[in-house]
Structure 1
């Protein structure tokens, strides 16, 4: 299976550190019925059981016409599904648990893959505060600290930029807000990381 499927070709997502839906698709998309997933990757297992379309359409966690009013549109506990952006089908992404992490240091890069080449008005990158536990707590706005706000980027298939989030260790969530340039379309993306 090619990592860039036509079913999700109209949009984009963070692929490094891997978003929850992209990571599940990357690891299990060609083998999503494998019972070993339940033990090896239980959060992806529950997500695939809830709705495989969440992973097939890993580029589709966006909302339109929010005019920057994100916190009023996306309630606490629903940040990773972008407030049920896929009509309630992606709510499995909000579930706390042992999501597979990407190892990062205090300084790391965030990479967007965007087949539609929307460009960006800006990115905002948040990281959970030290003491937040993604394995037991659903993500809320108050759990996040803004660590990077970028300027605009011209349309490109891949956009990468550096962020710094010192003073953390262990499992955290990187929460990326990508304001696409082609219209008021905003993406909300959870990536699980392990600060080493």
Structure 2
């Protein structure tokens, strides 16, 4: 019995060490694979929830202070930790076909429904903007873009009670090709990468609205989406 134990112990140690290395490697690869980007100003719903509550996401005060983020954290914490991974692959430019009405903010319930809570109507925290403003998208992995498109909901749409549909949107800003690495380097901890600014014009708006961003990455047929909540003051 003692001989068997002495022979098996090194194998167990090798197995444990090997498993630990594999786990660390998996975390490294997944972390880097998920490093993509999102709208950071005005912040996308999941980026804003991560920014405000990432260091305190179990605080019960969130339920009353920031109820839409609370319901999102309860639904799937990974939607906020992976704020930069809300994308779909191989859309081929057919965004309306890939994202049914009511599912735009979740990227058509991408990632097996991880981001479904982003579609929920309600009093998401808003950013005050003028009718002419700038949207900042952060390209964390330096993908570049075939284009960015920014839409704003039409006057009369109610984000408090309605899920977002394509007929609710008006194109308010767009770019052409943005080269990989083009933009302003970020100095904010946890971001890295570069930020790209898009000029947006949405005349005639007042009150609460949703800004919807479409980012067609250049490195692959990978399209990022994001909903940001604004208040035209």
User: Where on the TM-score scale, by shorter chain, does this alignment land: which range?
Assistant: over 0.9
Question: What is aligned with 2:110?
Answer: 85
Question: What is aligned with 1:194?
Answer: 231
Equivalent residue for 2:167, pick from 139, 142, 146: 142
Indicate the SS of the match to 1:30: coil
Aligned length: 191
Scaled by the length of structure 1, what TM-score is found?
0.94
Q: Matches of residues 1-196 of structure 1 in structure 2 within 5 Å? A: 10-156=35-181, 157-196=194-233
Q: What do you get for the CA RMSD once the two structures are aligned?
A: 1.2
Structure 2 distance, partners of 1:9, 1:159, is 19
Task: Quote the offset at 1:163 in angstroms.
Answer: 0.9
Q: 1:116-173: per-residue Cα shift (whole Å, max 9, x none)?
A: 1001110111000000000100001110011112111111221112111110011100
Structure 1's unaligned 5+ residue stretches are 1-5
Q: 1:50-69: per-residue Cα shift (whole Å, max 9, x none)?
A: 01000000011111111111
Report 1 or 2 for greater relative contact order, CA contacts < 8 Å, sequence distance ≥ 6: 1
Q: Could you tell me whether the CA contact under 8 Å between 1:147 and 1:163 is conserved in 2? A: yes
Q: Could you tell me whether the CA contact under 8 Å between 1:126 and 1:145 is conserved in 2? A: yes
Structure 2 distance, partners of 1:64, 1:180, is 10
Indicate the SS of the match to 1:93: helix
Structure 2's unaligned 5+ residue stretches are 1-30, 182-193
